[in-house]
Amino acid sequence: MSIHQGKTQSAAPRFGRLDADLAEVQSAIVRSREFLLSEQHPDGYWCGELEADSMLEADYIYLHTQLESGDPGRLQRALTEMMRYQNEDGSWSIYPGGPGNISLSVKCYSSAKLMGVEAGDPRLAKCRAWVLAHGGVVACNTFTKMYLCGLGEYDYDAVPAIPPEIVLFPRWFYFNIYEISSWSRSILVPLAIMYAKKPFKRIPSGQGIDELFVGGRANSILRLRRDRSSILSWRNFFIILDRLAHWAEAVHIRPLRTLALKQAEKWLLARLEMTDGLGAIYPAMLNAIIALRCLGYSEDDPQVIRARDEFEKLGIEEPANELMPEPTFRMQPCVSPVWDTAQAVFALGEAGVERADPRMIKAADWMLSKEVRHKGDWAMKVRNTEPGGWYFEFNNEFYPDTDDTAQVLLALNKVDNPRERYQHEVAERAIAWEFAMQCKNGGWGSFDKDNTKMIFQYIPFADHNAMLDPPTVDITGRMLEMLAGYGYTREDKRVEKAIRFIFREQEQDGSWFGRWGVNYIYGTFLVLRGLDAIGVDHLEPQIQQAAEWIRMVQNADGGWGETCGSYDDPNKRGVGVSTPSQTAWALLGLLAAGDDRSDSIAKGVRWLLTRQQPDGRWDESMQEGEGEVRQSIITGTGFPRVFYLAYTMYRQYFPLMALTSYQRTMERAS
């Protein structure tokens, strides 16, 4: 039976212990490969859209309201996009099918009112009831409250202090800014400028959100201030410091404020160079625009113009179509060309595209052009190391990361470049940089080394749950796979240290946590790939336990899936609707563990084959009811429990890798 006949995303798979015909697998690989190649940009790279939650559109409306700017038509289209994703109970969620989120719901409600939606509108009435039932505005996180302060909708004295003096702490000081994650750093420095300058935009009374405070705004905030535990703890220690900071702010005891603002401005301007906006990520870029205006930069200043242009580039205009009767505008949290290109090249190389194929060489040359050659924030803790490696976006020189670097190196290893010597030199620099970034416990974090001081999670403004960048097993697993490809073995002490780190982090059920992908399926597959590549025996109990866990969480339809809810509830590990990307991860993990003949493998491969579309692609979206908005299923992680994203190309290159790996394994076994 042809895999094209009557097969859709919801079609029932064909069960049975029947290995897929290798000719059928090969046909699917060819279609997938050709589709992926058709998506290559003329300049040589790949870049799929990144989808996230409605916070992006809500904040977009907030920014332009704060600055009295923006195209009215685009703002209206952003509102249309935002309102499409409201839940039936009135809330908004940070991932499709997830529970309502208080901060996001308040932001969306506020943004709707800023755009002229009346409080009596049934959609806002439902949201208002939900928000009040879940604690009201005071239950929001610090970032949401800071934005509301700029509109006069919250009190600056009631938000955790973010004094710009933090940039003055020397590098040897325990609490210096380089001890927090790079993304928090790029978000908080401009936010500290905003806190010091306290921007205020008076909005019409009808656009306010006083009705979202339980018991009224004044009483609600007063109760919040009084709700302080007397228990001696680090959290309450920082709360006391926070109150002292607010007192100093109120009585103008700020002897270092002018110096701090100058240093923060200098830090900000330096990191706006050689990048697509501060940190090249949405919240930092938004904060930077407001911070520049707070510092007195005019609307037509080149720095402001460039910052705003880079921010607007994240937008995507969508014309009206059958699913959307009105045109919409949405924002991306960032862009992923280096990451997508590295993954695509590696997958294509695995799938048999010639190493000297001009398209592969063009992609390799494009990646080589993105090598980091300047020292960034990472160098504050990693001295005497030559710059090397890659970032995630088109340009982000201050923030290369170990994960992108490892994946680019894996990709370059699939290409025979006429500039062989140059490519070799670049790879050697990058590997040396990777080893310099290895943490004390043997693992790798993403942007910084040993970014592990847990005390930072108790700081009052750390309620976005992303203050640290500790070493993770998913990155470490990819690192081992890359190092093996460049000839490293367990004889190297650094490699063995990484293996010990991975084994220490294994969960009792055999799985591994996935920091940068959803979730335990992601972490487990990358660990198994790395351990297999570096030569760890498949019969090791840790390997077999992990493989058994993967088999245990396979869905009845033959695929695998996992919801973002597993970050909140470990009992949901491996539980979720089957998706192409997560099914591919599970198959890759099992194959790396030496499983080539189980029913799980056969059913998983069949699941992928029956759901491939005629043009070679896979769909990874959900539509819960008739007339509902179709959304991508989230399989990517920004900040666990806070922010998730859908990499729209995951559903293409990971299934290709899985089918190729399966084909190769079966050919060896035959």
Residue in 495, 489, 553 with CA at minimum distance from that of residue 524: 553
Residue with tokens 């973002």: 564
pLDDT at 454: 81
Low-confidence ranges of the chain (pLDDT < 70): 1-18, 174, 221-253, 460-465, 623-629
CA-to-CA separations, 134 to 214, 261, 354, 420, 643, in angstroms, rounded: 9, 37, 57, 60, 20
pLDDT at 580: 98
What is the token pair recorded at 437? 């970034």
Neighbouring C-beta atoms of residue 70, cutoff 10 Å: 16
Q: What is the pLDDT of residue 220?
A: 73
What confidence tens digit (pLDDT) does each residue in 101-116 have? 999 999 999 999 999 9
How far apart CA 1 and CA 278 sit, in angstroms, is 53
Contact between 665 and 589 (Cβ < 8 Å): no
Longest Cα–Cα distance of the chain, Å, equals 80
For residue 641, count CB atoms less than 10 angstroms from its CB and return exposed for 0-12, middle for 13-18, buried for 19 or more: middle
Distances (CA, A) of 97 to 57, 100, 146, 169, 324: 19, 9, 28, 43, 20
Radius of gyration for the alpha carbons in the chain, expressed in angstroms and rounded: 25
Q: What is the pLDDT of residue 625?
A: 43
Distance CA 202, CA 222 (A): 23
Question: Which residue out of 59, 401, 403, 463 is catalytically annotated?
Answer: 403
Tokens at residue 557, please?
């339809």
- Report how far residue 147's alpha carbon sits from residue 65's, in angstroms, rounded to the nearest whole number: 11
Alpha-helical regions (H) of 437-556:
473-485, 493-504, 520-534, 541-552
CB-based contact 97:629 (threshold 8 Å): no
Cβ proximity of 544 and 538 under 8 Å: yes
First-residue to last-residue Cα distance in the chain = 23
Query: Which CATH code for domain 471-620+637-646?
Result: 1.50.10.20
The full set of domain ranges for the chain reads 51-316, 471-620+637-646
Count of beta carbons in the 10 Å neighbourhood of residue 119: 17
Which residues face 632 on adjacent strands?
Answer: 621
* CATH T-level topology, domain 51-316: Glycosyltransferase (1.50.10)
Phi, psi of 283 (to 5 degrees): -65, -40
How far apart CA 451 and CA 468 sit, in angstroms, is: 6
518/424 Cα distance (integer angstroms): 34
Taking alpha carbons only, the member of 497, 493, 442, 431 closest to residue 470 is: 442
Q: List the structure tokens of 577.
A: 């609707």
Q: What is the pLDDT of residue 250?
A: 62
Q: What is the pLDDT of residue 238?
A: 45
Structure tokens at 144: 């949401």
**277 neighbors 310 (Cβ within 8 angstroms):** yes
Q: What type of residue is 654?
A: F
Q: What is the DSSP string of 322-373?
A: SS-SS-EEEE-S---HHHHHHHHHHHHHHTT--TT-HHHHHHHHHHHTT---
- The helix (run of H) or strand (run of E) holding residue 632 is strand 631-632
403 is catalytic: yes
Are the CB atoms for 523 and 513 separated by under 8 Å?
Answer: yes
d(CA 159, CA 440): 36
Tokens of 643: 């922010």
pTM over 0.75: yes
In whole angstroms, how far apart are CA 234 and each of 50, 242, 456, 458, 520? 37, 12, 9, 6, 31
Q: Which of 124, 118, 110 is nearest to 208 (CA)?
A: 110
Of 35, 648, 661, the residue nearest 340 (C-alpha): 648
Write out the H or E segment, with its range, that includes residue 226: helix 217-226
* Residue type at 76 in one-letter notation: Q
Residue spans of alpha helices (H) in 68-181: 72-83, 102-114, 122-133, 142-149
Residue 48: DSSP 8-state: P
Fold match, 51-316 / 471-620+637-646: yes
Give the pLDDT confidence of 115-172 residue by residue, as tens digits.
Answer: 999 999 999 999 999 999 999 999 999 999 999 999 999 999 888 888 899 899 887 7
